[in-house]
């Protein structure tokens, strides 16, 4: 089957001003195309939209989640400093959002009350940082504790589908988040499990944004290569 998948499509454009994670039909379709495939444990993930609010497989329900966080909320104490220090901040932010709002900037997690999507954003030691989230997932697989233990354990059935951390990373095309030994590459130099681990300077903020966008660009290329082998990509 040949299906159009455009790795450059800005999923905000069909979200009607709402959160693309729930409102973009294109993003949902792309998730369904990409992640419906054989799992490391030998089963086949076949995502459907039947009788569910987003995506479903067997008795598991899934929601979309963005990797990207700009920290531009009231809780970020350096917010105004960043805005004042970057010329044409609106243009800077729009360019960032446009580059980040593609399929390469999103993943799926099990959807339920107090899900990973919610917990990683609310936990003050994670602050929605994807690098720290992935480190929690890595530690889960090797039996080490982390600030996200509770939600990871509640979704143990899901994570077991990938057998180990390498299986999880490879399945979701996250190889650019880790080194050759599958250790997580951190995008911001803060102590692990530090309260409010957000950028403290304009320079570290810009570096954070660039590392996020570099990952999205590289993952987009991986998605392109994967889709070319599966004949589900045409819009380049």
Long-range CB pairs of 207-213 (<8 Å, 24+ gap) are 208/71, 209/70, 209/96, 211/187, 212/67, 212/68, 212/69, 212/100, 212/130, 212/187, 213/96, 213/99, 213/100
Structure confidence at residue 75 (pLDDT): 76
Q: Which residue has the tokens 């446009």?
A: 98
N-to-C CA span, the chain? 18
Task: Give the pLDDT of residue 3.
Answer: 56
Q: Which residues pair with 109 in a beta bridge?
A: 63
d(C-alpha 155, C-alpha 160), whole Å: 9
Per-residue tokens: 66: 């963005």
Helix (H) or strand (E) run with residue 61 in it: strand 60-66
User: Splitting the chain (236 residues) into consecutive groups of 10 residues, what average pLDDT does each group show?
Assistant: 78 94 95 96 94 88 95 83 91 94 97 93 94 98 97 97 98 98 96 91 94 97 90 50
Residue from 16, 17, 119 nearest 65 by CA? 119
pLDDT at res. 48:
95
pLDDT at 234: 42
d(CA 71, CA 128): 9
Question: Residue 96: what pLDDT?
Answer: 94
Instruction: Give the contacts of 30 (CB within 8 A, at least 6 positions apart).
Output: 5, 9, 103
Contact in structure between 8 and 102 (CB atoms under 8 Å) = yes
pLDDT at 128: 94
Q: Where does the chain have alpha helices with state H?
A: 20-23, 25-35, 79-85, 89-100, 116-122, 130-141, 149-154, 156-160, 165-171, 202-230
In a 13 Å sphere around the CA of 56, the CA atoms on its Cβ side amount to 8
Do residues 109 and 116 make contact, with C-beta atoms less than 8 angstroms apart?
Answer: yes
pLDDT of residue 2: 45
For the full predicted model, state whether its pTM sits above 0.85.
yes
């Amino acid at each position: 089957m040949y299906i159009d998948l455009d790795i450059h499509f800005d999923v905000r454009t069909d979200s009607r001003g709402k959160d693309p994670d729930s409102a973009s039909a294109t993003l949902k379709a792309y998730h369904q195309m990409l992640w419906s495939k054989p799992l490391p444990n030998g089963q086949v993930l076949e995502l459907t939209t039947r009788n569910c609010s987003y995506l479903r497989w067997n008795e598991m329900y899934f929601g979309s989640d963005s990797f990207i966080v700009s920290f531009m909320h009231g809780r970020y104490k350096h917010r105004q400093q960043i805005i004042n220090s970057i010329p044409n901040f609106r243009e800077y932010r729009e360019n960032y959002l446009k580059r980040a709002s593609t399929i390469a900037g999103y993943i799926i997690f099990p959807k339920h009350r107090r899900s990973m999507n919610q917990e990683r954003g609310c936990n003050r030691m994670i602050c929605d940082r994807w690098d720290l989230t992935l480190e929690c997932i890595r530690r889960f697989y090797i039996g080490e504790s982390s600030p996200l233990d509770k939600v990871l354990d509640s979704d143990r059935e899901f994570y077991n589908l990938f057998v180990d951390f390498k299986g999880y990373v490879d399945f979701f095309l996250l190889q650019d988040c880790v080194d050759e030994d599958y250790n997580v590459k951190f995008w911001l130099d803060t102590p692990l499990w530090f309260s409010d681990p957000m950028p403290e300077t304009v320079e570290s903020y810009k570096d954070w944004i660039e590392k996020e966008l570099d990952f999205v660009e590289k993952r987009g290329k991986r998605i392109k290569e994967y889709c070319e082998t599966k004949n589900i990509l045409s819009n380049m």
